Amino acid sequence: MIFATATLPDGSNDGYLAAAYIVFFVLVLVYVAIMAWRLTRVERRVRDLNLREREKEREERNLKDTPHISRQAGDRV
């Protein structure tokens, strides 16, 4: 308690101290927000990439099956 009374504000210029700490934390917060936004974009790209990769695999599988179908179709003709 004695420590606290010797370290608490005396009322003069307190706003400047608060402003300095607030500016610092806001800067860090803005940086973290930008990082979060970039992370969201990366996540979206990964999701997109996975989706396109799955589509590509499906297309390749379909291509493998295509000659068999066309031959059957040809037989019928």
| CA–CA distances in Å: residue 77 to residues 60, 70, 71, 73, 74 | 26, 10, 10, 6, 5
Measure the CA–CA gap between 24 and 76, rounded to whole angstroms. 77
- Please report whether residue 33 would count as binding another protein according to CB under 8 A: no
Instruction: Indicate which single residue of 49, 54, 62, 66 sits in contact with another protein (rule: CB under 8 A).
Output: 49
Q: Which of 29, 33, 38, 72 binds another protein (CB under 8 A)?
A: 38
Whichever of 52 and 71 has its CB closer to another protein, that residue is 52
Residues near another protein (CB under 8 A): 3-4, 6-10, 12-14, 16-17, 19-21, 23-24, 27-28, 31, 35, 38-39, 42, 45-46, 49, 52-53, 56
